């Protein structure tokens, strides 16, 4: 099957934003105006294409990212609508890893909100070029200028307004295009027939001033253009577009557009901007990776259908009808149905079975996926999120995707014996699908503990387990995922594991040093053995022992983190030494090092933002202080409201939404996301260890 669109006419974009900024509503309009749907779905009515899960439609929020494909003016646009709630941040992260560009949506009343910052930083990390859409221009308190200023100040971005709104708040009717200096107004109910006209007289002066600012900002990216501008020569629209496109792709500028998706105004110019300013797969850097047997030499794969295959699995979906579905992005070569590919990280071959192009929850069968495109395949046995699929003759391992660790846990237990096996299978499939969802068995209580990114995250998981997999279960109260670490360095731990029995004995001798690391570094192991005092073949067993011991600390059995273990010396016995002996020596040495290193308990600290009417400000600050909160700052919001930013331990945030609503007569809202781990005060530590 030949390629439908040439590579330079393909765009892979994500719709990203804070919760409730209008991502799904905007995606619905994109599908309608590109002819993929014949009616506009509503989030409130639960009739949208991309929010297809029952849980999404009931709650009116996006939970899983959904992929759709549309065509606009001869271009193919692959769109991924991502969640806005922080509990589902992994969905945004893995989508950004494989996308070439992003449309970031902002609420014109609220401006930059907490999750807007999070997704912006994630896009920075993956160097994703972006355009901005200031949505909800029709709402009371909406301000295009204030939103742009908050993008500049809070995100450190370089926003360039490409439009000027016509009308304010409920009077918003359209926009002035500062490139063409023409006005576009949407008067029909569905917004399908925009009316282009001259700029209204009352906006002409403001539009000319705004255009001068825009032209100067764009001209700064090109020496020839800035000279033209300074000398007063006219600059063509094509020149401005060309220079701005280059600046956007290099992440030096972000064009900003205005509209109201719900009122069907301003979406078509955003589609034009996706084509004009966001890159095709040909314009992003070549995929980089390493050979399976050489992690030092960097390899590159060009965006070419005839190059060796390099594809990244970025999402697994446990589909109740067809089984496990793996989404992948092809960076070079092509994936062909029936062919064998290699998963080099696991050294396993996979056969490509049925392939589909996803349209939200609907599937269109395809036989080939080309370089620069996104597809999904059924039946992969050993490949999961972050794995590479590659040509067996010319393998490469692409950079994987890293995800944050879960911060909250609950216990679940099946109601009947029949539910027991079903629950184990359901949790296994859900964990395969979501890398931020973890399942483990508590050794002391034999309970099944599930962990995730927040209360809503676990609530959705349990709901899916009960509905999709028909498991009846009892659910415990939420618990905090604490961590343990050491507070001081231990220069030497000398441990000799020697057992003598009939026949061969067991002998392993290790000498460690241990030191605390900065927060967020996990457990690191370094081999500093010189001269072969421990043979090379035993070093992996030593590392395995360290990692295994770190799974359970000595204060209350929580996982150990932020610690560096160096293997500095040791000895072995020609006959009695074994991998098991060195592993056991490492486990005991690690536990001893923890005892001597001043063990301390760490708790997750959340970044909280509370928006309340000004008259409740004092009460809210009092509430946060009482919950061990540390106030970081305040900001005035439209409508006589105040936004309070604070760092608060997660343990103190359970049930806070109810208290907030009670204190503000239901008018306060809060958002919360994980920020870092910090030491637990002694008074709290005593409660945790005794509970």
Note the pLDDT tens digit of each residue in 476-528: 877 888 899 999 999 999 999 888 765 677 889 999 999 999 888 889 999 88
| Segment among 239-243, 309-313, 356-360, 526-530 with least mean pLDDT | 356-360
Residue 359 predicted with pLDDT over 70 = no
Report CA-CA distances (Å) from 370 to 97, 304, 648. 18, 8, 47
Alpha-carbon gap, residue 615 to 621, rounded angstroms: 12
pLDDT band, very low/low/confident/very high, at 61 (cuts 50, 70, 90): very low
The DSSP bridge partners found for residue 602 are: 483, 679
Percent of the chain exceeding pLDDT 70 equals 91
Bridging pattern class, strands 599-613 and 195-197: unpaired
Contact 353, 376 (CB under 8 A): no
Mean local confidence (pLDDT), 316-328: 75
User: DSSP string covering 72-121, please?
Assistant: ETTEEEEEEEPP-SGGGHHHHHHHHHH-SEEEEEEETTTBS-HHHHHHHH
**Considering the entire predicted model, what is its pTM?**
0.74
Residue 50 predicted with pLDDT over 50 = no
pLDDT band, very low/low/confident/very high, at 63 (cuts 50, 70, 90): very low
Bridging pattern class, strands 254-258 and 159-161: parallel
CA dihedral 466, 469, 475, 479 (to 10 degrees): -120
* Sequence-ordered list of residues with C-beta below 8 angstroms from that of 144, at least 6 positions apart, any chain: 108, 134, 137, 161, 164, 165, 258
Sign of CA dihedral 85, 90, 93, 97: negative
Alpha-carbon gap, residue 547 to 430, rounded angstroms: 25
Mean local confidence (pLDDT), 368-397: 88
Contact 130, 256 (CB under 8 A): no
Query: Locate tokens 């809202």: which residue?
Result: 669
Alpha-carbon gap, residue 504 to 515, rounded angstroms: 35
Mean local confidence (pLDDT), 665-675: 79
Mean local confidence (pLDDT), 95-111: 88
Query: Locate tokens 């995730």: which residue?
Result: 452
**Could you tell me the two tokens for 587?**
């486990």
The DSSP bridge partners found for residue 688 are: none
Alpha-carbon gap, residue 169 to 114, rounded angstroms: 24
Mean local confidence (pLDDT), 541-548: 93
Residue 438 predicted with pLDDT over 70 = yes
| Segment among 64-73, 348-357, 590-599 with least mean pLDDT | 64-73
* Sequence-ordered list of residues with C-beta below 8 angstroms from that of 643, at least 6 positions apart, any chain: 609, 610, 611, 634, 635, 636, 637
Alpha-carbon gap, residue 279 to 101, rounded angstroms: 7
Alpha-carbon gap, residue 32 to 221, rounded angstroms: 36
The mean predicted confidence, pLDDT, of the chain is 85
Note the pLDDT of residue 322: 66
Note the pLDDT of residue 84: 53
**Could you tell me the two tokens for 575?**
């006959």
Sign of CA dihedral 534, 538, 540, 541: negative
Note the pLDDT of residue 53: 47
Per DSSP, which regions of 186-229 are E strands?
195-197
Q: Which residues of 200-218 are buried (b: 16+ CB within 10 A; e: fewer)?
A: eeebeeebeebbeebbebb
| Segment among 237-246, 379-388, 489-498, 544-553 with least mean pLDDT | 379-388
Note the pLDDT of residue 305: 87
| Segment among 230-239, 280-289, 401-410 with least mean pLDDT | 401-410
Mean local confidence (pLDDT), 196-208: 92
Note the pLDDT of residue 2: 64
Helical residues (DSSP H) of 469-608, grouped into ranges: 539-549, 579-596
Cα distance between the two ends of the chain: 62
């Amino acid at each position: 099957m030949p390629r439908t669109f040439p590579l330079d006419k393909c765009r892979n974009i994500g719709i990203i934003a804070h919760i409730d900024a209008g991502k799904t509503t905007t995606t619905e309009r994109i599908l309608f105006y590109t002819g993929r749907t014949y009616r506009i779905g509503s989030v409130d009515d639960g009739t949208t294409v991309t929010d297809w899960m029952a849980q999404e439609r009931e709650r009116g929020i996006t939970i899983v990212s959904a992929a759709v494909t549309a065509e606009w003016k001869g271009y193919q646009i692959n769109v991924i609508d991502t969640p806005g709630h922080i509990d589902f941040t992994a969905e945004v992260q893995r989508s950004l890893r494989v996308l070439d560009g992003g449309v970031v949506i902002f609420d014109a009343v609220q401006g930059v909100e907490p999750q807007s910052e999070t997704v912006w930083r994630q896009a920075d990390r993956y160097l994703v070029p972006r355009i901005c859409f200031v949505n909800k221009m029709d709402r009371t308190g909406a301000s295009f200028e204030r939103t742009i200023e908050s993008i500049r100040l809070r995100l450190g971005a370089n926003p360039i307004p490409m439009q000027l709104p016509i009308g304010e708040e409920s009077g918003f009717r359209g926009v002035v295009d500062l490139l063409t200096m023409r006005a576009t107004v949407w008067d029909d109910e569905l917004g399908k027939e925009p009316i282009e006209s001259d700029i209204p007289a009352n906006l002409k002066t403001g539009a000319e001033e705004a255009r001068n600012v825009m032209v100067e900002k764009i001209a700064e990216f090109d020496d020839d253009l800035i000279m033209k501008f300074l000398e007063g020569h006219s600059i063509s629209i094509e020149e401005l577009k060309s220079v701005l496109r280059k600046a956007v792709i290099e992440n030096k500028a972000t064009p900003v557009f205005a509209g109201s998706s719900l009122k069907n105004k301003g979406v078509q110019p955003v589609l034009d901007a996706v084509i004009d300013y966001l890159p095709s797969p040909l314009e992003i850097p070549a995929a980089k990776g390493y050979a399976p047997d050489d992690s030092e030499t960097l390899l590159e794969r060009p965006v070419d259908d005839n190059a060796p295959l390099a594809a990244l699995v970025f999402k697994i979906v446990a589909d109740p009808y067809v089984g496990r579905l793996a989404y992948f992005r092809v960076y070079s070569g092509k994936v062909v149905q029936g062919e064998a590919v290699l998963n080099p990280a696991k050294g396993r071959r996979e056969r490509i079975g049925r392939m589909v192009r996803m349209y939200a929850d609907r599937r269109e069968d395809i036989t080939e996926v080309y370089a620069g495109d996104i597809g999904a395949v059924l039946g992969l046995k050993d490949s999961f999120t972050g794995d590479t699929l590659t040509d067996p003759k010319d393998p490469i391992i692409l950079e994987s995707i890293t995800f944050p660790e879960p911060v909250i846990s609950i216990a679940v237990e099946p109601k009947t014996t029949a539910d027991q096996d079903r629950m184990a299978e359901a949790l296994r499939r859900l964990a395969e699908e979501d890398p931020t969802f973890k399942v483990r068995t508590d050794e002391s209580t034999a309970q099944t503990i599930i962990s995730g990114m927040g209360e809503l995250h676990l609530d959705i998981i349990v709901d899916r387990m009960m509905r999709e997999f028909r498991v009846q279960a009892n659910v415990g109260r939420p618990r905090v995922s604490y961590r343990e670490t050491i507070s001081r360095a231990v220069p030497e731990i000398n441990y000799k594991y020697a057992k003598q029995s009939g026949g061969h004995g067991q002998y392993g001798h290790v000498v460690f040093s241990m030191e605390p690391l900065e927060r967020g570094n996990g457990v690191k192991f370094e081999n500093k053995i010189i001269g072969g005092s421990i043979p090379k073949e035993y070093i992996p067993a030593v590392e395995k022992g360290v990692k295994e011991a770190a799974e359970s600390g000595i204060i209350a059995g929580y996982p150990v983190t932020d610690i560096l273990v160096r293997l500095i010396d040791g000895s072995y016995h020609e006959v009695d030494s074994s991998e098991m002996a060195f592993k056991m020596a490492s486990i005991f040495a690690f536990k001893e090092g923890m005892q001597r290193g001043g063990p301390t308990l760490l708790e997750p600290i959340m970044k909280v933002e509370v928006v309340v009417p000004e008259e409740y400000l004092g009460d809210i600050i009092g509430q946060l202080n009482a919950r061990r909160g540390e106030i970081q700052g305040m900001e005035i919001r439209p409508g006589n409201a105040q936004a309070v930013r604070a760092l608060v331990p997660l343990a103190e945030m359970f049930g806070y939404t109810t208290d907030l609503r009670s204190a503000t007569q239901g008018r306060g809202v809060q958002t919360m996301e994980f920020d870092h781990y910090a030491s637990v005060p002694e008074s709290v530590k005593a409660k945790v260890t005794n509970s």
